[in-house]
Amino acid sequence: MQAQPTASHFVDGAYIEDEAGQAFDSFHSATGEVIARLHAATPAVIDKAMESAARAQVEWAATPPAERARVLRRAADLIRARNEELSRLESLDTAKPIQETLVADAMSGVEALEWFAAQAASIAGEAVPLGTDFAYTVREPLGVCVGIGAWNYPTQIACWKAAPALACGNAMVFKPSELTPLCTLKVAEIFMEAGAPAGLFNVVQGFGDVGAALSTHPLTAKVSLTGSVPTGAKVYSAAAAGMRHVTMELGGKSPIVVFDDADIEDAIGGAMLGNFYSAGQICSNGTRVFVQSGIRDRFLERLIERTKTIRVGDPLDPDTHMGPLISEAQRAKVVGYIEAGTREGATLAYGGGLPSGPVFDKGAFIEPTIFSDVTDDMTIAREEIFGPVLSLLSFETEDEAIARANGTPFGLAAGVFTRDLARGHRVAGQLQAGICWINTYNLTPVEAPFGGVKQSGLGRENGRAAMEFYSQLKTVHVGLGRVDSPY
C-alpha cells in the first residue's frame, strides 16, 4: 500500500523537495503501514511558497472575476471526474471509510468551488451619496492567505478555505496536518491543471513550527486555521502581532437536546451521525446528548440496538461504516476518556473496547461507545474527545436543558429535536452556538455559513459570509466641490 507523492511540497506550480527538512512518515492507521515518506518545509521552502503566492496574487487579482470563476469551475469539474481516485487517497490518508469519502470529501470540495465560483462574479461595492460629494466602496482581496488544516477532512478543509479565498482574488499557502499530508497536494495539482497561475495555491508540509512560521511570515495577510482551541489561541495571538486577519475553526463539545415529543428514530439517527460518522472525529459532533426523561429509557434502548448495526472494519471495504481513528496516539487519548467516564461513575452502556480479529490487530480501531447516566461535571461531558464516544444525559425542563447545554466554554454547534415548531426555534434562539440544527444534525451545505462562537472560534466558512472574511473594504471619497480649507 503506497501513496508516495512526487515530492513533499507543491510550490510555484510544481512539486519540490528539500531533504534538509525533517523527514516524517505518513501512516494508514487501519494497518499501521507507512504509505509515504515526506519532509517538513525548511525556511527556504516557506519563503519560496510565500513569494510565489505574492507574485501570483497580483496577477490573479487583476484577472476579471468571471475568468477567476472559470478556473474554479474547471477545478471542480476535474475533482468530480477524479472523485474515485481522490476518495481512495483520502481513505488511505485519513483511514475514513470509502463509503464516506466518496460523498463527503472531494465532493464537498467540488460544491465549495462551484458555489464560490458563482459568488466571484458578484463581488461589488456600494455607492454612497454625500450631497455634493459621493463615496464608493470596493471589496478588495487581502493578499496571501495561509490555510492550516486539521487531519479529519484534509481535502474538504483545503477547498473550504481555497474556494472563497481564490474567488475574492487572494492566493493561498496551505499547510495540511502532518498526519494527513497527501490529499491537498492533489488539490494543488488540479488548480494548476484548471489554469490557475503558478503559485496561486501552494502546499507546504510540516508540523506546528511550520504553521507558526507561516502565521508570522511578513507576506501573510490572513491565517485561517482549522484545529484545536489551544492551537487556535497560539495562532490567533501570533497573527495579532502583525494585525493579520484570522478565521478560527476550532473544537467543540456540542449539545443535542431531544424533547419528549421528538420523532425518536430521527433524533437517534441525528445523534448517531453526530457521534459516529468519521469515527467521531468531527468538530461539530453533538457529543452531549440531552434526552428528556420521559423518553430517556426508550431512546437508550433503540440507540444501542441501532449502534450494534455499525460495521467497523477496513476503510477500503465499501461495506464498512466506521474505520479506525487517525493514529495510535489518538486512540490512546480516547481510551483514556473512556476510562475516565467509567471511573467517574458514568454507565458504559455499549462498546468501550477495542475490536479484535485479523482486520483490527494492527489498526487504531475502537468500538462505537455509549455512556449513559452522564452528569455535567464528568470529564467526558466537559472535554472534546474527538472519537466515537456518545454521552447521554437526561433532563426535565426546557430551561434546564438550555442552561446545561450552554454550560461549556465551547460554542460550535447545537441540535434540538422536537415536533413543536415554536419550541424548536425558541430553543435554537437561546443555544450559544455558531450553528444550530432543528430536527437534523451535522449538515454543512456550502450555502450556509459555518463556524463557532465562544472558544470554538471566529469568522465563518461557507455562505456569503465567507467572502467577507477573505476581503476588505476600501472607501473612495470623491470630492466634486472646492476644497474648503481655513488655511
Q: Which residues bind ligand NAD (CB under 6 A)?
A: 148-152, 175, 177-178, 207-208, 211-212, 215, 226-228, 231, 234-235, 249-252, 283, 384, 386, 412, 452, 457
Question: Is the CB of 13 or the CB of 176 nearer to ligand NAD?
Answer: 176
Contacts of 383 (CB under 8 A, 6+ apart): 253, 337
Q: Contacts for 81-87 with beta carbons within 8 Å, 24 or more apart?
A: 82/106, 82/186, 82/190, 83/107, 83/110, 86/155, 86/183, 86/186
Question: Is the CB of 159 or the CB of 412 nearer to ligand NAD?
Answer: 412
Least distance in angstroms from the C-beta of 186 to ligand NAD: 17
> Would strands 171-175 and 389-395 be described as parallel, antiparallel, or unpaired?
unpaired
Question: Is the CB of 3 or the CB of 212 nearer to ligand NAD?
Answer: 212
DSSP string of 191-250?
Answer: HHHTTPPTTSEEE---SHHHHHHHHT-TTEEEEEEES-HHHHHHHHHHHHHTT-EEEEE-
CA distance 14 to 202: 9
Give the sheet arrangement for strand 127-130, strand by strand. 127-130, 133-141, 471-478
Least distance in angstroms from the C-beta of 216 to ligand NAD: 9
CA distance 262 to 177: 39
Question: Is the CB of 300 or the CB of 446 nearer to ligand NAD?
Answer: 446
CA distance 175 to 146: 8
Characterize 376-411 residue by residue with b for buried, 16 or more Cβ atoms within 10 angstroms of its Cβ, and e for exposed.
eebebbeebbbbbbbbbbbbeebeebbebbeebebb
CA distance 114 to 123: 15
Least distance in angstroms from the C-beta of 451 to ligand NAD: 7
DSSP H or E run through 343: helix 328-343
Instruction: Give the catalytic positions in this structure.
Output: 161, 249, 283, 461
Contacts of 174 (CB under 8 A, 6+ apart): 146, 147, 148, 149, 158, 161, 162, 184, 188, 201, 202, 203, 204
> CA-based angle 480:486:487, to the nearest 5?
110
Least distance in angstroms from the C-beta of 327 to ligand NAD: 10
Question: Is the CB of 137 or the CB of 228 nearer to ligand NAD?
Answer: 228
Question: Is the CB of 368 or the CB of 457 nearer to ligand NAD?
Answer: 457
**Residue keyed to cell 459516529:** 276
Cα-based torsion angle of the residue sequence 359, 360, 364, 369 in order, rounded to the nearest 10 degrees: 120
CA distance 105 to 445: 12
Least distance in angstroms from the C-beta of 414 to ligand NAD: 14
Question: Is the CB of 26 or the CB of 231 nearer to ligand NAD?
Answer: 231
> CA-based angle 143:55:7, to the nearest 5?
105
Residue 420: count of CB within 10 angstroms of its CB: 15
